[in-house]
């Protein structure tokens, strides 16, 4: 019996291997565009005859566009289907990258990056929705964890590729490269769509027009969105000032931040091997403990703030716990209402990008007046408070709520 079950699981894993690779590459492409502006901003600025802050406005435009697209356009995922929505958004992203590559001035670059962001705001929840739909029953978190590995690729390998291409060729070739990857993913998604919906649950349009704003009122959604906000606010608020702390407080070269980012990405990626435990024990049981442990990791970052080696080691654990936390939130939201899954996950993406900006803004004064150690300790308090909130909320609703988590 066990041998038969193993053969079935292996067959299911093989059937979703190609879609997982496409979804992972799609996330990596979107992530590289988001993370790649910083390292090559000076080259773009010099070529267009402007300052670096002007170029970073394009990165801000992409982030704002992603939040708006996720908030107001993700209903298309539920109405048209996740694969159709993903294919359409990847096509627009590829076109926007081409237009970015030929940008004659900063205003053009800002505008087309905003368009890319709007499309990415649909693509990201479509990717998460598609992953949940193709996953064998009972293995949703494990499959989602593999797809989330795309963020590791974008942070570790993607940024290296971007800087290398800009160094050896030209910054315009960076966007050309991203356009080719996005277009390739678009073509592969189209071929998957032609295969039909066999074996996929919940795929296809729905009669009613759902809305992320109405989806927020579905029981179980708001607490997990609060959890998402806590994760992203603390991550971006802490990571955003870690590089400056290493360079100035620890007197390390700017390249020293690269090793720390690599260790974080390595931990984030390796955590995927443990995602099956989420499917085994369930989101509601695991998430409060994960958030509490993540709070301890932030505390460890604060205590290790005077040691570069300590920060590097803590960053690996930071990546591991952040992976589990993100997977728990997305898996929990995906399970609440399959019919409105796209709208719900659109809210998640919108909250993610709002929290990214919020974290940098509210932690800025803390870093300026109290230093990085205080930033990390404040993040620890945030996460422990979120863990307590989630533990109490789930405890009060055990056996009574409608969400399937």
CA nearest to 352, candidates 75, 124, 40: 124
In the block, tokens 């709002």 appear at: 354
Confirm if 174 and 47 have CB atoms less than 8 A apart.
no
More confident residue, 98 or 11: 98
Predicted local confidence at residue 217, as pLDDT: 85
Average pLDDT for residues 325-340, to the nearest whole number?
A: 91
Average pLDDT for residues 52-61, to the nearest whole number?
A: 85
Give the integer Cα–Cα distance in Å for 326 and 338: 19
Looking at every residue in the chain, the average pLDDT score rounds to 86
Predicted local confidence at residue 254, as pLDDT: 63
| Lowest pLDDT segment from 5-9, 104-108, 109-113, 316-320 | 5-9
CA nearest to 379, candidates 226, 232, 228: 232
Give the integer Cα–Cα distance in Å for 123 and 83: 10
Most confident of 189-198, 221-230, 272-281, 390-399: 221-230
Largest Cα–Cα separation, the chain: 68
Whether residue 364 is predicted with pLDDT greater than 90 in this model: the reply is: no
Give the integer Cα–Cα distance in Å for 159 and 34: 10
Instruction: Name which CATH class applies to 214-397.
Output: mainly alpha
Whether residue 194 is predicted with pLDDT greater than 50 in this model: the reply is: no
Average pLDDT for residues 152-168, to the nearest whole number?
A: 83
Per-residue pLDDT tens digits for 234-266: 998 898 888 888 888 998 886 677 788 889 989
Give the integer Cα–Cα distance in Å for 224 and 221: 6
Q: Alpha carbon of 37 to those of 58, 100, 389: distances in Å?
A: 8, 12, 36
| Lowest pLDDT segment from 1-15, 204-218, 367-381 | 1-15
Ordered by start, the domain boundaries in the chain are 2-209, 214-397
Average pLDDT for residues 342-365, to the nearest whole number?
A: 89
Q: Is 241 exposed, middle or buried (0-12, 13-18, 19+ CB in 10 A)?
A: buried
**What predicted TM-score, i.e. pTM, was given to this entire model?**
0.84
Average pLDDT for residues 162-185, to the nearest whole number?
A: 92
Neighbours of 13 (CB within 10 A): 15
Q: Which residues contact 267 (CB under 8 A, 6 or more apart)?
A: 315, 316, 317, 318, 319, 320, 323
CA nearest to 227, candidates 402, 382, 380: 382
Helix, strand, coil: what percent of the chain each, to 5?
Answer: 85, 0, 15
Tokens of residue 349, six digits = 């993406």
How many percent of the chain have pLDDT more than 90? 50
Neighbours of 230 (CB within 10 A): 26
Whether residue 311 is predicted with pLDDT greater than 90 in this model: the reply is: yes
Whether residue 207 is predicted with pLDDT greater than 60 in this model: the reply is: no
Helix (H) or strand (E) holding 226: helix 221-244
Average pLDDT for residues 296-311, to the nearest whole number?
A: 95
Predicted local confidence at residue 385, as pLDDT: 96
Whether residue 113 is predicted with pLDDT greater than 90 in this model: the reply is: yes
Per-residue pLDDT tens digits for 7-33: 445 445 556 888 999 999 999 999 999
Give the integer Cα–Cα distance in Å for 178 and 116: 12
Predicted local confidence at residue 203, as pLDDT: 42
Confirm if 171 and 44 have CB atoms less than 8 A apart.
yes
Most confident of 36-50, 80-94, 337-351: 80-94
Average pLDDT for residues 184-204, to the nearest whole number?
A: 63
CATH of 2-209, one of 3.20.20.80, 2.60.40.10, 1.20.1250.20, 3.90.550.10: 1.20.1250.20
Tell me, what DSSP letter sits at residue 271?
G
Q: What is the CA radius of gyration of the chain?
A: 21
Predicted local confidence at residue 13, as pLDDT: 54
Whether residue 164 is predicted with pLDDT greater than 70 in this model: the reply is: yes
Q: 130-135 long-range CB contacts below 8 Å, 24 or more apart?
A: 130/19, 130/23, 130/82, 130/83, 130/86, 131/20, 131/23, 132/331, 132/334, 132/335, 132/338, 132/341, 133/82, 133/200, 133/201, 133/202, 133/203, 134/16, 134/19, 134/20, 134/199, 134/200, 135/16
Predicted local confidence at residue 405, as pLDDT: 61
Give the integer Cα–Cα distance in Å for 345 and 287: 18
| Lowest pLDDT segment from 11-15, 284-288, 363-367, 379-383 | 11-15
In the block, tokens 């940024």 appear at: 159
More confident residue, 3 or 119: 119
| Lowest pLDDT segment from 76-80, 214-218, 233-237, 314-318 | 214-218
């Amino acid at each position: 019996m066990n041998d038969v079950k193993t053969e079935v699981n292996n067959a299911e894993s093989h059937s979703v291997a190609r879609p997982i690779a496409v979804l992972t590459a799609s996330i990596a492409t979107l992530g590289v565009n988001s993370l790649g502006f910083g390292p090559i901003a000076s080259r773009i600025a010099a070529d267009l005859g402007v300052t670096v802050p002007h170029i970073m406005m394009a990165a801000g435009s992409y982030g704002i566009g992603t939040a708006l697209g996720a908030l107001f356009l993700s209903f298309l995922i539920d109405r048209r289907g996740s694969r159709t929505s993903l294919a359409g958004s990847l096509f627009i992203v590829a076109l926007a990258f081409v237009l970015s590559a030929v940008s004659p001035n900063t205003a053009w670059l800002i505008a087309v990056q905003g368009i890319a962001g709007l499309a990415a705001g649909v693509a990201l929840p479509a990717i998460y929705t598609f992953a949940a739909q193709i996953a064998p029953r009972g293995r949703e978190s494990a499959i989602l964890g593999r797809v989330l590995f795309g963020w590791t690729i974008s942070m570790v390998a993607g940024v290296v590729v971007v800087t290398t291409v800009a160094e050896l060729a030209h910054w315009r070739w960076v966007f050309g490269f991203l356009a080719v990857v996005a277009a390739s993913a678009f073509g592969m998604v189209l071929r998957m769509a032609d295969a039909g919906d066999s074996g996929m649950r919940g795929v296809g349009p729905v009669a009613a027009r759902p809305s992320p704003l109405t989806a927020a009122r579905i029981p179980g959604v708001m607490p997990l969105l609060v959890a998402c906000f806590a994760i992203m606010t603390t991550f971006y608020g802490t990571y955003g000032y870690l590089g400056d702390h290493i360079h100035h407080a620890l007197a390390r070269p700017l390249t020293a931040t690269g090793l720390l980012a690599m260790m974080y990405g390595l931990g984030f990626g390796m955590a995927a091997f443990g995602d099956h435990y989420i499917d085994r024990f369930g989101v509601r049981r695991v998430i409060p403990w994960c958030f509490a442990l993540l709070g301890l990791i932030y505390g460890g970052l604060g205590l290790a703030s005077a040691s570069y080696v300590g920060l590097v080691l803590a960053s690996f654990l930071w990546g591991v716990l952040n992976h589990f936390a993100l997977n728990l939130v997305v898996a929990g939201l995906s399970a609440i209402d399959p019919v409105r899954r796209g709208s719900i996950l659109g809210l998640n993406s919108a909250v993610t990008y709002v929290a990214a900006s919020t974290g940098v803004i509210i932690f800025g004064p803390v870093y300026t007046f109290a230093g990085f150690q205080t930033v990390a300790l404040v993040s620890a308090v945030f996460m422990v408070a979120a863990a307590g909130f989630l533990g109490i909320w789930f405890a009060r609703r055990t056996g009574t709520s409608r969400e399937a988590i």
